[in-house]
Structure 1
């Protein structure tokens, strides 16, 4: 049934497609780039389809190549997991999660202790680099927790969490600050800072308050956790996500002001390459995330 499958060529293709580089695939498989090129040409001839576009600098997958890579990567991952399950004295290993620095610092990392209590033999590596990682190309990353936007084609989405925005302040100062005719408002200088300002305007309109009048004192920070620290220190009121403030509210560092008034936010998506969700450490982490995200 499988006698005619070109297994060596398929392994070469998977590596080259994941790296988008024949040279990187050759280094990974300990062969020459010429050998990788030869194997892929044989596979293309066998299929009667071009799998790569040869560009002046590098290669790119064709539509057929992307389809084959998606299916092949998942199948090879399943095989690797099955073989690993048969090895004696195996460890549960670990997984790598990529997400934003704010989400990691304010939501994920403070909760990780609960995961380690359930799975002390699974190590979780958190990647908070500014560059968005292509899960289809970087096999070292197991899961991505991303904020907003459309889910990229070809990725598996597992659950997630919806946020809303509200106003928060230090419990001892929130009513005093809110009683001022012009309280100090804390904002975050996002890439699209106008989005944050509009959210403040929307919240004030819903609350029937004229805080956004000329001369309002706005203190801006470039990271959400800085803004939350400023608010918890009594420096003003912050408009912030229900997700990233949850920990500070639970610890009594922040309290919501008029919590019935909110502004809709975005959704956090949990994403992985299809098939990766069945990997035992990833499966355990996803099950734990489901409980934490509710």
Structure 2
């Protein structure tokens, strides 16, 4: 049934597609770049269509190559996980998770102890970055938690929660503000997420005159801005998700709780097929439960 499948060429193609380089694939597979090129060419001849565009110093997948990579990568992951399940003594119960520094510090890590209580045999390795990791290319990351508006049709998606943005400050500053107002705390986004609200959106919705002329204090990330608000420096415009623990503990309270601006969605995403890995499945189920 599978006798005619070009398995060596398919494995070579997966490596070259994931790494976007024949040279890097050759190093990973311990063969020469010429051998990689030969295997790719034979696979293209077998399929009757090009899988890569040969560029000056690299390669890029064609549309056909993208389709093959998506299905092949998931299939090889299933085979790898199936083989690992037959070797319990060497089974890896570590899950690598990528998310933003703010989400990790303000939402994920404070709750992670509950996951370890339920699954003490699983270790979660957390990587943080404000840049989107390419899960199709970086096989070292099992799952990413992303906040945004776009869909990811090429990935397996677990919906978590939706946020809104509101103004928060300390109970003490809220009681002392009166009509004098205070400073507005915001973020200086290095790579702003298209569609996220800013102070002007909230000011337009609130309709209070003093807000437009209030002094501004901006910080490079959301967890810094929230800490500034907790220390009493002013009003922070923040995500309801990231501010949830500070609100629950009474460190912050909403100012004008009736004024909310729609935010983005949080989703956990992974390469299709990886969600069937037992450790990752346990983490995804727990994340959805916590988010709910």
Q: TM-score range by the shorter chain?
A: over 0.9
The question of 1:184 aligning with 2:193 is answered no
Once residues 197 and 62 of structure 2 are traced to their aligned partners in structure 1, the CA distance between those partners, rounded to angstroms, is 42
SS at match of 1:213: helix
Once residues 110 and 282 of structure 1 are traced to their aligned partners in structure 2, the CA distance between those partners, rounded to angstroms, is 19
What is the CA distance between 1:175 and its match in structure 2?
2.1
1:23-47 Cα deviation digits (max 9, x unpaired) = 2112212222221111111111111
- 2:164 and 2:262 in contact (8 A); partners too: yes
Residue segments in structure 2 that go unaligned for 5+ positions in a row: none
TM-score, length of structure 2 as denominator length: 0.92
The question of 1:139 aligning with 2:139 is answered yes
Which residues in structure 2 correspond to 1:173-212 (within 5 Å)? Answer: 173-177=173-177, 179-191=178-190, 199-212=198-211
Once residues 197 and 50 of structure 1 are traced to their aligned partners in structure 2, the CA distance between those partners, rounded to angstroms, is 40
1:130-154 Cα deviation digits (max 9, x unpaired) = 4322111111111121221312441
Once residues 195 and 21 of structure 1 are traced to their aligned partners in structure 2, the CA distance between those partners, rounded to angstroms, is 31
- 2:169 and 2:255 in contact (8 A); partners too: yes
Check 1:246–1:198 CA distance in 2 against 1; reply closer, same or farther (3 A cut): closer
The question of 1:20 aligning with 2:38 is answered no
TM-score, length of structure 1 as denominator length: 0.92
Once residues 225 and 41 of structure 1 are traced to their aligned partners in structure 2, the CA distance between those partners, rounded to angstroms, is 50
What is the CA distance between 1:93 and its match in structure 2?
1.8
1:264-290 Cα deviation digits (max 9, x unpaired) = 111122211111111112111100110
What is the CA distance between 1:66 and its match in structure 2?
0.7
2:35 match: 35
SS at match of 1:167: strand
Which residues in structure 2 correspond to 1:1-294 (within 5 Å)? Answer: 1-177=1-177, 179-191=178-190, 199-214=198-213, 216-294=214-292
1:60-116 Cα deviation digits (max 9, x unpaired) = 111111111100000010111111111132445211111111111111121111111
Once residues 35 and 212 of structure 2 are traced to their aligned partners in structure 1, the CA distance between those partners, rounded to angstroms, is 68
Q: Which moved more, 1:41-50 or 1:194-203?
A: 194-203
Once residues 211 and 134 of structure 1 are traced to their aligned partners in structure 2, the CA distance between those partners, rounded to angstroms, is 44
Once residues 169 and 22 of structure 1 are traced to their aligned partners in structure 2, the CA distance between those partners, rounded to angstroms, is 54
- 1:97 and 1:125 in contact (8 A); partners too: yes
Residue segments in structure 1 that go unaligned for 5+ positions in a row: none
Once residues 204 and 16 of structure 1 are traced to their aligned partners in structure 2, the CA distance between those partners, rounded to angstroms, is 50
Once residues 105 and 69 of structure 2 are traced to their aligned partners in structure 1, the CA distance between those partners, rounded to angstroms, is 34
- 1:187 and 1:196 in contact (8 A); partners too: no
